[in-house]
Amino acid sequence: MQQRETIIVLDFGGQYNQLIARRVRECGVYCEIYSYRTPLETIRAKNPRGIILTGGPNSVYDPASATCTADLFAMGVPVLGICYGSQLMMHLLGGRVERAPEREYGKTEVYVDTESLLFQEVNPTTICWMSHNDYISQAAPGFKVIAHTDHCPVAAVEAPDKGLYAVQFHPEVLHTQQGSLMLSNFVYKVCGCAGDWKMDSFVEQSIQNIRAKVGNGKVLCALSGGVDSSVAAVMLAKAVGRQLTCVFVDHGLLRKDEGDQVEAVFGPEGPYDLNFIRVNAQQRFYDKLAGQDDPETKRKIIGEEFIRVFEEEAKKIGRVDYLVQGTIYPDVVESGLGGESAVIKSHHNVGGLPDYVDFKEIIEPLRDLFKDEVRAAGRELGLPEALVARQPFPGPGLAVRIIGAVTPEKVRMVQEADAIFREEMANFGLANAASQYFAALTNMRSVGVMGDERTYDYAVALRAVSTSDFMTAESVQLPWELLGKVTSRIVNEVPHVNRVLYDCTGKPPATIEFE
Ligand code: GLN
């Protein structure tokens, strides 16, 4: 197989490392993230077309700081240093970096030399995002200054004969208005990439690779109905057809009609030729959850029961050769396997192999993809838009959107309320106005009056947040007419709800989900 053109991002602990890789891929060039500790031989062996050094929290003149060998700059591979990466390049090659008399933070006017390959087609004065305390007071010998700001004499440098470029600002964040153009200039004009990272060829190549690997082996996939497992399943179905068995456990905590939607795609009436097993385990989960009101206990019960059910099905199937997992690239990076970021969470999909299925190997067809690329792959594979564009949904499902103990009746209440909310968001043309929105059932009951009769019923809370990374989020200002319409429909159509509340809290201090 011909090697894919690759740009390597060397991660010095900056906040935007994944963003750099995503932007490069948006330019049509494949990109991977590695820790700055990665030995030079390992990097060389990957045969990269270019290397990008990220930002980072340290100061290069501090001896304990993250660093790399100066040999990196002499490999004949183009290097772009960003922020800390730019300072490090200058520091290692004989320039001077020190505490800036004035720190720069935020959108800043930068005056660039449009003769440089890096700034082709960029406006001579362009807004860039700055976030630094140190600055390059003197460029390294052999480097030409190609940008400055009112406070920063060296905002970018180049040594084009060596393929070395460095920028003090962050081209990867959207606040840098022409950042994508600069990154594209780097990968195409400096590194000479052809741009072979295309979703159609990725999908086609993956299908061929899977076919070659699996041979006539048997493959098992646990379907949750979420985007990742669905895309992985379809890819496998296209590759090996009936050698694939998908087990879909309906725990009775899905959104309204979601189980049937999954069955419509993957079941016998759907377009794919595979073995599909739907386990209607709703009652088992409800029985186990009865009377349990502690959020962590609820999560644990659901997780364990899920494994039990899956295990029973796997036993019926017998030995399989491969187990499919929907691991995606951020899971890999955040588990500390890719970049430098501290282990943010040990992801359930990475490392922890399920010991309840007898199989010889794991297949992770989406391991190299960012979330938006997974959706693009899903579209390429012909998955319905409703499935591909699905909002994030917690693994334990609606159990975390029902405060207190779960009962089948409460599940129905929250399903109906949520469906009404989603339907009206679409009717108002706002289906994409928030990153995530849903209804939750609070455990609060209060007095109301309906048809001249006293009621003592539940309150539904609506939540809509906007976020780019799901780490922080803001409550979205929804139009009052929409909230009014949803409220009146919910109290009229969902029995035992007499009050609808809107959650105005951001994250932090709240979380996106309720629990
Ligand atoms: N820590 C360095 C500085 O303050 C680099 C900052 C960065 O990479 N964002 O200048």
Amino acid identity for residue 200 in this structure: D
Return the ligand 1 atom nearest residue 134 CA: 10
pLDDT for res 469: 64
Q: Which of 294-298, 362-366, 477-481 has the highest mean pLDDT?
A: 477-481
Alpha helix stretches (DSSP H) within 27-95 = 40-45, 84-92
CB atoms near residue 281 (< 10 Å)? 20
Q: Whose CA is nearest to atom 5 of ligand 1?
A: 84
Q: What is the average pLDDT value for the chain, to the nearest integer?
A: 91
pLDDT at residue 342 tops 60 = no
pLDDT for res 89: 98
pTM of the model: 0.79
Return the ligand 1 atom nearest residue 131 CA: 9
pLDDT for res 75: 95
CB atoms near residue 315 (< 10 Å)? 11
pLDDT for res 338: 57
The response to whether residue 91 sits with its C-beta less than 6 Å from ligand 1 reads: no
* Positions marked active-site: 83, 170, 172
pLDDT for res 251: 94
pLDDT for res 344: 41
- Calculate mean pLDDT across residues 31-48: 93
Please state, in angstroms and as integers, the Cα–Cα distance from residue 460 to each residue in 395, 428, 432, 497, following that order.
Answer: 21, 20, 22, 7
Domain boundaries for CATH 3.40.50.880 within the chain: 6-190
Percent of the chain past pLDDT 90, that is, above it, reads 74
What gap in Å lies between CA 310 and CA 303, rounded to an integer?
11
pLDDT for res 99: 95
Architecture of domain 6-190: 3-Layer(aba) Sandwich (3.40)
What gap in Å lies between CA 366 and CA 326, rounded to an integer?
6
The response to whether residue 272 sits with its C-beta less than 6 Å from ligand 1 reads: no
86-95, 151-160, 227-236, 321-330, range with the lowest pLDDT: 321-330
Please give the class, per CATH, of domain 199-388.
alpha beta
Architecture of domain 401-502: 2-Layer Sandwich (3.30)
Strands 453-466 and 497-502: parallel
Q: What is the DSSP string of 79-140?
A: EEEETHHHHHHHHHTT-EEEEEEEEEEEEEEEEE-TTSGGGTT--SEEEEEEEEEEEEEEPP
**To which residue do tokens 């989900």 refer?**
513
What gap in Å lies between CA 412 and CA 409, rounded to an integer?
5
- Calculate mean pLDDT across residues 64-77: 95
pLDDT for res 349: 45
What would the pLDDT profile of 127-150 be if each residue is shown by its tens digit? 999 999 999 999 999 999 999 999
Residue of 84, 129, 170 to mutate, ligand 1, most atoms within 8 A of C-beta: 84
Please state, in angstroms and as integers, the Cα–Cα distance from residue 189 to each residue in 25, 116, 177, 193, 384, following that order.
Answer: 16, 10, 19, 8, 38
Please state, in angstroms and as integers, the Cα–Cα distance from residue 198 to each residue in 205, 333, 393, following that order.
Answer: 11, 22, 28
The response to whether residue 57 sits with its C-beta less than 6 Å from ligand 1 reads: yes
Extract the tokens encoding 231.
């895309």
Query: Around 338, how many Cα atoms within 13 Å sit in the side-chain half-sphere?
Result: 22
Packed helices 227-240 and 199-214: angle between N→C axes, nearest 10 degrees: 60
The response to whether residue 131 sits with its C-beta less than 6 Å from ligand 1 reads: yes
- The answer for residues whose C-beta is within 8 angstroms of residue 319's C-beta and 6 or more apart is 218, 358, 359
| Ligand 1 centroid distance, CA of 467 (Å) | 25
Domain boundaries for CATH 3.30.300.10 within the chain: 401-502
Residue of 36, 87, 128 to mutate, ligand 1, most atoms within 8 A of C-beta: 87
pLDDT at residue 346 tops 50 = no
pLDDT band at 347 (very low <50, low <70, confident <90, very high): very low
pLDDT at residue 348 tops 60 = no
pLDDT for res 341: 52
The response to whether residue 55 sits with its C-beta less than 6 Å from ligand 1 reads: yes
The response to whether residue 99 sits with its C-beta less than 6 Å from ligand 1 reads: no
The response to whether residue 66 sits with its C-beta less than 6 Å from ligand 1 reads: no
pLDDT for res 352: 47
The response to whether residue 82 sits with its C-beta less than 6 Å from ligand 1 reads: no
pLDDT for res 3: 74
pLDDT band at 324 (very low <50, low <70, confident <90, very high): very high
Extract the tokens encoding 322.
């491969």
pLDDT for res 339: 57
Return the ligand 1 atom nearest residue 12 CA: 8
Domain boundaries for CATH 3.40.50.620 within the chain: 199-388
- Calculate mean pLDDT across residues 385-405: 89
| Ligand 1 centroid distance, CA of 132 (Å) | 4
| Ligand 1 centroid distance, CA of 313 (Å) | 52
- Calculate mean pLDDT across residues 221-234: 90
Compute the CA torsion angle 43, 45, 50, 55 (nearest 10 deg). -10
